Amino acid sequence: MLMADEERNEQEQKQPEAAEATEQPQEAPAEEAADAPADEPQPDEAAAEEAAPEESAAEEEGGEDAPAEEPTPKQRRKLERSQASGPALPPRSPEERAGERAERRRSAAASRRRNRAHRREKRGEPKAGTPPAESESAGRKVRQGTVVSAKAAKTISVRLEITRRHRTYEKVVRKSSTVHAHDERDEAGEGDVVRVVETRPLSRSKRWRLLEVVEKAR
């Protein structure tokens, strides 16, 4: 028991000594700072001053690389007015300003017309356009044939026969084609000889119109 009491007393004596030892290093910087001259910058202030030039240089570099913003037309006009040297114009009403703008536009249009005319004369282009070519219509085709069908309403099928002599072999060549013709009054019947004339498209297949009945079927 005596040994345990002695050890406890020794530990209690050591604890205040350790606390005093830990408190002494914290007070030392304050004393050193007080002893230091006031003109010398503190370490934190010196580091901040060294970083400031670096930041300003970085900002300048960034400003050089960054593209300059294009001013708007309104800002450009305002800048030109501020830089203009000379007497100021008298105040004008909106109608007067509109009249001046119209006059400027008319003068610019006249100048463009003069420049275009000058360029045309320089290139040697004719002033008048090329006259249209004269064309004569060959007229509508008229064909004679035989009605092969008249079952549909207002429509007849006409067989057109063509007989010609071959130019090289001098042989008579016969050809036939069937067309649909428009018969407004249903005059023609099957087997009649009729004359048809070419006309505008009247339906999907009708491009001919009955002109007259030449001979009725017996």
CA atoms within 13 A on the CB side of 215: 7
Burial class, 205, CB count within 10 angstroms (exposed 0-12 / middle 13-18 / buried 19+): exposed
In tens, the pLDDT along 163-184 reads 999 999 999 999 999 999 999 9
Provide the token pair at 104. 């400027």
In angstroms, the CA 20 to CA 56 distance is 47
Positive or negative CA dihedral for 43, 48, 51, 57? Answer: negative
Q: What are the residue ranges spanned by the domains of the chain?
A: 142-215
Place of tokens 């913003």: 69
What span, in angstroms and rounded, lies between the C-alpha atoms of 160 and 156? 12
Query: Is residue 66 scored above 80 in pLDDT?
Result: no
Q: What is the mean pLDDT of residues 106-114?
A: 95
Structure tokens at 71: 């001013």
pLDDT for the residue 56: 55
Say what the pLDDT of residue 34 is. Answer: 45
* Matching residue, tokens 């030392």: 28
Which of 117, 192, 120 has its CA nearest to residue 158? 192
Q: What is the pLDDT of residues 16-27, one digit of tens each?
A: 555 454 554 444
pLDDT at 159: 97
**Among 38-42, 78-82, 130-134, 208-212, where is mean pLDDT lowest?**
38-42
Percent of the chain with pLDDT over 70: 67
One-letter amino acid at 172 equals: V
Instruction: Point out the least confidently predicted range of 60-69, 94-103, 114-123, 187-196.
Output: 60-69
Query: Is the pLDDT reported for residue 7 higher than 80?
Result: no
Mean pLDDT score, 40-66: 52
- Kindly tell me if the per-residue pLDDT of 60 is higher than 80: no
Q: Which CATH class is domain 142-215?
A: mainly beta
Residue 7 identity (one-letter amino acid): E
Which ranges of the chain does DSSP label H, i.e. alpha helix? 2-35, 43-65, 73-83, 94-123
Beta-carbon contacts of residue 174 (< 8 Å; ≥ 6 apart): 161, 162, 163
The answer, yes or no, to whether residue 63 has pLDDT greater than 60, is no
Asked if 177 and 159 count as a contact pair (C-beta separation under 8 A), the reply is: yes
Higher pLDDT, 26 or 199: 199
Amino acid at 147: V
